[in-house]
Structure 1
């Protein structure tokens, strides 16, 4: 044991082995410092949401316009100017940096070829999305980062959760971890980088901060808010803890959900607990937000029901197969597959079948006359070619008229949380007075930059960018 009371000591200790943690470790190593990565999961499940994400990062063609775009996306919830500056500058350097490390970087030709928020000022900075090998998902980015760490001799200790930050003279100087040999105190001369992911898998935090009562999980079950609690314990302030991304999902046999994409046909409508439509079902989901009533709002926040007919059932799977969209814990880690004609899900009881709309109403416990009237009004809008009630795009108006009819419960599929310990443009965590907590850094989903809207490839881009910033700054302190 060292004189300072540590069992061992490094220049930089990184907590978490996802995109942010890997980027921090690689950047610190490039600065010729001794780095250790500690990861609470085993090697087979490590990597957080990065491992099961689309694995792409947005291409920033113009940092100056990117500053404007981020401010437009944040809207009424601004982040500090130094954070905007660092984000705009650093995201433009991701692809060149990864290429230097040996990654086969290529732009995706199928996904996120244009900004989702095209109408916002500054969106012209968005040039598309880069990925490893030009392909989405399949853990390709995670795999490359693991190889990059190993090739450089950067140690990653799996099954080693961090449980407490060590503070001396108001500065973070190390971390306590648990492992096979019990608890160990690891010193960090330059600093500790928290890259522990979000809190989507902690149901209490989800209810407290996101106000989502009933959700299913898209990503890693290890996203339990560990870094949030460690940072709060040493006085960290928090930012935009109520921001997140949910998408439409279906509950399977456990806590993990299937993405409900509805890409194959339009013969469906959504109804709430009273049996009535409540929203434009075809409103474009923009990474957690839809445009409703002329403003962006989080969606979905609570369960509702999908009503569809035989035309829809036979048109193709309601949830994408991995050859189309290889993302999510269910597909990539559990090997779950949705049947091509939705028949297996009917057999499992995930989808209920009925010969009439009135019978469907009885299944979901709503007034039969109300649900029949709702479907009749929707079908009339389809026949007329315009939806006066919610303004659904005429090209997406497909009647629900061919028996048998079907219903399933749609649950918020929680992709990630955004909020966490507040940090500055150097990824340094700030306390409740706005002062820097020396030696403590945060990057990635534990402290995402995005206070409101975000575009395709933004989360991985943010994680890689501020992971690099954190690793460099911590190395400089050492």
Structure 2
């Protein structure tokens, strides 16, 4: 044994190997720390949501305006000033930091070229989205960061879950990890950084905190709230546990999730279980990362299943779920190799999409009152003919009649991309206890403790993970080495 009671000793131990974990490890090593990364998954499925995300980060062109923008997006759920300040300054440094690592950083020319929340104060700080080679998805960011960590000489131990935090008089001094050869007690002189991802893959936590009882996953099934449980075990407080991002999804035969993207024709409408419209569909067609504008406020959507009713023009306009050449994102597409057919015919054959020659027949298939559905479609088609939707205010440019037989119905289910809440932390990424005091030696970064209390724009999650991963790594290294970030001795 090394230090009494421990099998090994490092300056910083990082739990998780996604964007936040990689950034924390690299920043801690650059600050002079000896670093170990432990990852519960096998190497071929490690990396959490970073591995299957778009992998881009927003370009912060003005940190001062970014402070205003973040506060606008938080709405009625404000963040502490030190968190806002650190976020605004550190996200502005992301692209330069990635370039220093050797990344080919370029603006995306196709996605997130402007803010989704264009009308919110401070949105003028948003200058697009940077990504590896300017391209999203295909695990490009994850692959780059994994290579950068490997080339730095930092060890990543795969299939090594963290099972317990070790404390001494309330200070986190290490972590107990498991492996095929048994458990080991690893000391962390500067601290333990939790970068374990969210809890979208934990059905009980989803039910308890998000209240989404019927959903499918878009991200990693390994996001099971491990870091949340570790932090709580040593007294951590929690923040914004009810915030998340769901978008429109489809349940596959194996229970996995497909993204329903309504990017082709507009000959569709949403109906409830009773066969009635209930929302402005155009607000959902381009979701603001889990929120839509409704009744003068931003709200989470969708929270429960509904039905998509459409006609033959919509069916032939292209795949309802993006193909890999268009949007190579999501666990099901990248890791399971799932593919949606170009004309939606395979999904009809599978029974996911059901077909009828009339709206009345479609209603019978849906087990709802035919007169109700016929009236719903008639009123919608009248709005299309008039070019004005007085019931829900759908964008006139997206009013496409549902009138060309055959007609189709697809069951839509919330596709859960990520959770936002976790252990409360400060602007130095230190986890806070229920009294608001820092738990010495414990840090959190990334989805395990996302900054976002309410709305978030394109590229915000990766930017947050890179930014606070670096903050956590630097601060933990300073505790171990006695040298403050920037060079001053403690």
- TM-score, scaled to structure 2: 0.97
Question: Distance between the aligned counterparts of 2:387 and 2:438, measured in 1?
Answer: 58
Q: Name 1:281's counterpart in structure 2.
A: 281
How far does residue 254 in structure 1 lie from its aligned partner after superposition? 2.3
> What is the CA deviation profile of residues 146-189 of structure 1, one whole-angstrom value per residue up to 9, with x for unaligned ones?
00001110000000011111111110011111101111111100
Q: Name 1:305's counterpart in structure 2.
A: 307
Question: Distance between the aligned counterparts of 2:135 and 2:32, measured in 1?
Answer: 32
Q: Name 1:468's counterpart in structure 2.
A: 470
Q: Name 1:410's counterpart in structure 2.
A: 412
Q: Name 1:296's counterpart in structure 2.
A: 298
Question: Distance between the aligned counterparts of 1:234 and 1:270, measured in 2?
Answer: 46
Deviates more, 1:373-382 or 1:253-262: 253-262
Q: Name 1:422's counterpart in structure 2.
A: 424
Aligned residues of 2:3 and 2:9 also touching (Cα < 8 A): no
How far does residue 255 in structure 1 lie from its aligned partner after superposition? 3.2
Q: Name 1:130's counterpart in structure 2.
A: 130
Question: Distance between the aligned counterparts of 1:341 and 1:294, measured in 2?
Answer: 37
Q: Name 1:30's counterpart in structure 2.
A: 30
Aligned residues of 2:354 and 2:408 also touching (Cα < 8 A): yes
Question: Distance between the aligned counterparts of 2:387 and 2:99, measured in 1?
Answer: 50
Question: Distance between the aligned counterparts of 1:253 and 1:461, measured in 2?
Answer: 34
Q: Name 2:337's counterpart in structure 1.
A: 335
Q: Give the 3-state SS of the residue equivalent to 1:276 in structure 2.
A: coil
Question: Distance between the aligned counterparts of 1:300 and 1:432, measured in 2?
Answer: 32
> What is the CA deviation profile of residues 55-74 of structure 1, one whole-angstrom value per residue up to 9, with x for unaligned ones?
00000010000000000000
Q: Give the 3-state SS of the residue equivalent to 1:127 in structure 2.
A: strand
Aligned residues of 2:3 and 2:187 also touching (Cα < 8 A): no
Q: Give the 3-state SS of the residue equivalent to 2:416 in structure 1.
A: strand
Q: Name 2:483's counterpart in structure 1.
A: none
Q: Name 2:92's counterpart in structure 1.
A: 92
Question: Distance between the aligned counterparts of 2:281 and 2:129, measured in 1?
Answer: 27
Q: Give the 3-state SS of the residue equivalent to 1:182 in structure 2.
A: coil
Which one of the candidate residues 373, 383, 386 is aligned to 1:384? 386
> 5 Å matches for 1:425-444?
425-444=427-446
Q: Name 2:237's counterpart in structure 1.
A: 237
- Runs of 4+ in structure 1 deviating by more than 4 angstroms, as ranges, are none
Is residue 7 of structure 2 the alignment partner of residue 7 of structure 1?
yes
Q: Name 2:455's counterpart in structure 1.
A: 453
Q: Name 1:182's counterpart in structure 2.
A: 182
Q: For structure 2, which runs of at least 5 residues remain unmatched after alignment?
A: 481-490
> 5 Å matches for 1:44-443?
44-283=44-283, 284-443=286-445
Deviates more, 1:357-366 or 1:14-23: 357-366
How far does residue 359 in structure 1 lie from its aligned partner after superposition? 1.5
Q: Give the 3-state SS of the residue equivalent to 1:79 in structure 2.
A: coil
Question: Distance between the aligned counterparts of 2:232 and 2:373, measured in 1?
Answer: 48
Q: Give the 3-state SS of the residue equivalent to 2:308 in structure 1.
A: strand
Question: Distance between the aligned counterparts of 1:200 and 1:299, measured in 2?
Answer: 16
How far does residue 253 in structure 1 lie from its aligned partner after superposition? 1.6
How far does residue 393 in structure 1 lie from its aligned partner after superposition? 0.7
Q: Name 2:484's counterpart in structure 1.
A: none
- TM-score, scaled to structure 1: 0.99
**Backbone CA RMSD of aligned residues:** 0.7
> What is the CA deviation profile of residues 348-388 of structure 1, one whole-angstrom value per residue up to 9, with x for unaligned ones?
01111111111211222211110110011111111111111
Question: Distance between the aligned counterparts of 1:254 and 1:474, measured in 2?
Answer: 42
Question: Distance between the aligned counterparts of 1:62 and 1:424, measured in 2?
Answer: 22
> What is the CA deviation profile of residues 299-339 of structure 1, one whole-angstrom value per residue up to 9, with x for unaligned ones?
00000000001111011100011111110011111111100
Question: Distance between the aligned counterparts of 2:187 and 2:361, measured in 1?
Answer: 65
How far does residue 294 in structure 1 lie from its aligned partner after superposition? 1.1
Q: Give the 3-state SS of the residue equivalent to 1:29 in structure 2.
A: helix
Question: Distance between the aligned counterparts of 1:18 and 1:365, measured in 2?
Answer: 44
Question: Distance between the aligned counterparts of 1:396 and 1:330, measured in 2?
Answer: 29
Question: Distance between the aligned counterparts of 1:254 and 1:11, measured in 2?
Answer: 43
Question: Distance between the aligned counterparts of 2:405 and 2:4, measured in 1?
Answer: 74
Q: Give the 3-state SS of the residue equivalent to 2:49 in structure 1.
A: helix
